[in-house]
Amino acid sequence: MEGLLLRWYEHSARELPWRLTSDPYAILVSEVMLQQTQVDRVVPRYLRWLERWPNVEALADATPALVIVEWQGLGYNRRAIQLHRAVRLIAEHGWPEDLTELPGVGPYTAAAIGNFALGRPVLPVDTNVRRVQERTGASFSPSCAQALFDLGATVCLARIPRCGECPLSAACPSRGLRYEPARRQSRFEGSFRQRRALALRAVAAGRECDDGEALAALQRDGLVTVGGDGRIVLPPA
């Protein structure tokens, strides 16, 4: 199946900016941004981020406050702090052999950096890759990672796969099947996540916020702190 998949990928690959680099810092930034945010939203923010902070040293020198403000709109703001902490560790000690030692880097992100930046023979398995593996019953080598991402994201969809467009359909035991909808993420509108986002936006803009519960949660995550005058502010350093 690998040959069919890779030939399909040659003419169907999505044009994504992080596929044009093997810089581990750039790959780390892209993977952290992509953890819980859609690709189309990430692309312009990734490019803007690298324009502002093009390497580990540049981001490590930035204050947490600047990083949080730049992250606004990508959601799950704790990722910004974890990325910043990871980069500061890298700037001080270099890249660890075990990438999961870095804040916010789990097994999948470590495998992605290892594959795309460090030449390690490991297949990063995300939701899309796992879906293709389970439906085809096939094993794929690390060289198929990007092709599997694209197949799962554009053809082998979660509920109604486009089997007629799939290069693996002839040998796929799941061809033509339909699937129950996966459990959806809870609504953002009216949720505590939205309250946290609004509270952080207010603090970043220097406005008062009276949502004590949301502010306390942000403080626990290191996204805000108490300034010298007792006001809630973004972390300064």
Q: What is the largest CA-CA distance in the chain?
A: 68
- DSSP assignment of 170-234 equals GG-TTTT---PPPPPPPPSTTSHHHHHHHHHHHHHTT-----HHHHHHHHHTTS-EE-TTS-EE-
Q: Which two tokens stand for residue 52?
A: 């502002």
Q: Which two tokens mark 44? A: 């312009």
What are the percentages of helix, strand and coil residues in the chain, rounded to 5? 55, 0, 40
Q: Which amino acid is at 8?
A: W
Task: Considering the candidates 10, 15, 31, 213, report the single residue annotated as catalytic.
Answer: 31
Q: CB within 8 A of 36, min separation 6: which ones?
A: 75, 76, 79
Question: Is 31 among the residues known to form the active site?
Answer: yes
Amino acid making up residue 169: S
Place of tokens 């941004």: 33
The tokens of 194 are what?
Answer: 């939205």
Residues that are catalytic: 31
